[in-house]
A and B are shown apart, each in its own frame.
Chain A
Amino acid sequence: MSTELRWPVGDPIVLDDRERLSFRVDRRAYTDDDLAEREMTRIFDRCWLYVGHESEVPAPGSYVARDVGGRPVVMARGSDGVIRVFANSCPHRGALICSQPAGRARSFRCPYHDWTFSNRGDLVGVPIPDGYGPSFRKADFGLAQHRSDSYRGFVFVTFDPRQPRTLTEYLAGATEYLDLIDDQSEVGMEVIQGAQLHGARANWKLMMENSVDIYHFRALHKRYVGYMESLGSVPPRRRGGFGRALGWGHGANELPPAAARPLAYWTPMFGAEVRPRIEATAARFVDRFGAERAERITGTNRALLIFPNLMIIDAIAITIRKIDPIGAGQMAITSVALAPKDEDPDIRELRKSHYLTFLGPAGFATPDDIEIIESCQRGYLNRAVRYSDLSRGMNKAVPETTDELPAREFWRQWDRLMYGDDEHPEVVQRVERQGAEVR
């Protein structure tokens, strides 16, 4: 190998040159095992991370067990109705105290020695207790409870006891978009049963970038666009749309619907039968929220990136996509659909059908996204090409959705967390709002 192809250790990964309107990311960020390991401690051990939606634990005793930031956790609603997030590991010797992915239980029993914990996390049963001395107190051996909180039904956890921000502070401008999603029902939103559990042989950050990249849409997703047009999808009545920076690495694209929205933007592809119902819903939202906000809630699509690994895409259906790294070159993807609890059954069927048309491992679009990011990952094997370019829209005060502002915001926060000042992250923090990039 020639020496030119070697990269000096310690070179910056993110090259953000606002003078020259250039933004480049060193492709080691996608391939380097040491960086992948560093991400787990510098990013996933520190940020607020999405666990699940409150509707997934609807009743006292309901729980789900899943991995968050590489750690097995249990999100449980206790008999007292409070949602808590526990380490899924017995305080005694470490086995998983919950091996069912979801269910309802008054208590969790570790199968190893039958230590039993209430659904509030208290140790309530230890077999043969006379093996312990007087200093043994059950209160010292409850399930480890993580700091968790929820915003509009979205439950997050942080593993960093020193995380200086509350969840709401951390979410920053992203709360505005979570409001636009949760406002879609007066009685609440719910996750529809049935998760699409898949993945990709690519670095997790490629899926985050892809999820806020609308530039690729008409190129990569020709077959989806073609199918939608054959169903009677019409071009948006409004042009435009824009990308926004929301603080702490979060970002969003907001744009007129390209096809239709079950709540509530009817076009002929939904069929004449449901038209009155969808238009009545739209009118009801005008009454509740006023014309302008109603239009934003019901008549606008959005893709929201919440740093580091949550995407919520609200278009012809709403998908919550949690993306988990598995080393540098593999990821797990968990996608679920979110919908109003009080949705009309016919419209729910339409929503599910269109969700499947686009999304998931067998949709008409997602498999192409997965194929293309796997292709990028393979392309990086040729290290002669060192950087990826993410500069689109740096020349504009308000970048468009076909620009790359949300991805840049993601990378800037990634860079701050990976290489910034641990004790004083604010020193390097620079929040950009309203799509205007500070120069």
Chain B
Amino acid sequence: MTIELTVDDTAQVRLWHRVSQFLFREARLLDEWRLLEWYDEMLTDDIRYAVPATDVRDEADALGLIDDDAARLRQRVEQLLAGEVWCENPRSRTHRMISNVEVLIDRGTHLDVVANVVVHRFGHRRSDVYVGKYRFALVVDGESFRIRRRVVVLDHETLVEHGKLSIIL
């Protein structure tokens, strides 16, 4: 049996595929510590990268764990690559699993995308797992996209076990 796709369906499948490929590439660059490439090629100039607190997740005024503008995120990348972050020197190995990718809103040039993510981190005799949800605002950029807003909502109650969050999730 074959399933016939309407023109609309085909476009949606294509979009979903392109978005998923984009997220997978991002995961690969981050896992391979190709952070400058990631910063230069996948983000907009007005990128906002945020990780909300684990006790208050949806309050706009709340203090989170990370709320980087482009300059601070760039600094974070440079510190990581320069080996200035003691807990990432030597570099940890990370392994991102992304699933449940959904395009929630498609405004043609702008997309709201969510996905589930699990990041495993190994190094310094530790193994940490970060589990959460990606909430991305993407901007269409030719055949690909750029990330304008990158929010990682962690599901953990606390980070008592992890202590720190030294990688880019």
Contacts and interface: CB of A to CB of B under 8 A. Distances in A.
> Are chains A and B native binding partners rather than an unrelated pairing?
yes
Grouping DSSP codes into helix (H, G, I), strand (E, B) and loop, the A interface class, with mixed when no group exceeds half, is mixed
Contacts of B63: 192-194, 196, 336-337, 352, 355-356
Contact of A367 (B56, B61, B67, B85): B85
Interface residues of A, number: 40
B160 A193 contact: no
Interface stretch (B12-20, B47-55, B97-105, B135-143): B47-55
A385 interface: no
Given A193-B61, A194-B62, A198-B159, A371 B86 contact: yes
Contact of B160 (A223, A332, A368): A332
A362 B166 contact: yes
Interface string A179-197: 0000000000000111111
Contacts, number: 109
A321 to B, nearest CB: 14
Contacts of B65: 196, 356, 360-362
Nearest to A371: B87
Given A362-B66, A366-B164, A197 B54 contact: yes
B8 interface: no
Contacts of A195: 53, 55-56
Contact of B62 (A193, A226, A227, A372): A193
Interface in B154-169: 157-166
Given A194-B52, A223-B79, A199 B87 contact: no
A332 B158 contact: yes
A327 to B, nearest CB: 12
A252 B161 CA distance: 29
Contacts of A223: 79, 84-85
Interface string B19-47: 00000000000000000000000000000
Interface in A189-225: 192-201, 220, 222-223
How many of chain B's residues touch chain A, expressed as a range?
20 to 34
A356 B164 CA distance: 13
A222 B154 CA distance: 29
A374 interface: yes
Given A199-B159, A199-B161, A356 B64 contact: yes
Contact of B53 (A196, A199, A367): A196
A101 interface: yes
B163 A192 contact: no
Contact of A101 (B55, B59, B162, B163): B55
B75 interface: yes
A326 B76 CA distance: 31
B93 interface: no
Nearest to A336: B63
A233 interface: no
A357 B72 contact: yes
Contacts of B86: 220, 367-368, 371-372
Interface string B115-130: 0000000001000000
A194 B67 contact: no
A364 interface: yes
A370 interface: yes
A163 interface: no
A193 B56 CA distance: 7
B87 A353 contact: no
A237 B158 CA distance: 40
Nearest to B59: A193
Given A332-B158, A357-B72, A371-B86, A192 B62 contact: yes
Interface in A294-350: 326, 330, 332-333, 336-337
Q: Of residues A200, A352, A360, A364, which shows the largest number of chain B Cβ atoms within 10 Å of its Cβ?
A: A360
Contacts of B158: 197-199, 332
Contacts of B72: 227, 357
Contacts of B67: 352-353, 356
B64 A194 contact: yes
Nearest to A331: B160
B87 A364 contact: no
Given A352-B67, A356-B63, A197 B164 contact: no
A370 B163 contact: yes
Output the residue of B54, B157, B162, B163 with the most chain A CB within 10 A: B163
Contact of A370 (B51, B84, B164): B164
A50 B161 CA distance: 23
6 contacts: A193-B61, A194-B52, A194-B55, A199-B159, A361-B163, A371-B164
Query: 5 tightest CB-CB pairs across the interface, nearest first?
Result: A194-B62, A199-B160, A194-B63, A197-B158, A367-B164
Interface of B: 51-56, 59, 61-67, 72, 75-76, 79, 84-87, 124, 157-166
Given A227-B79, A362-B66, 7 more contacts: A193-B62, A194-B62, A195-B55, A195-B56, A197-B55, A356-B63, A364-B76
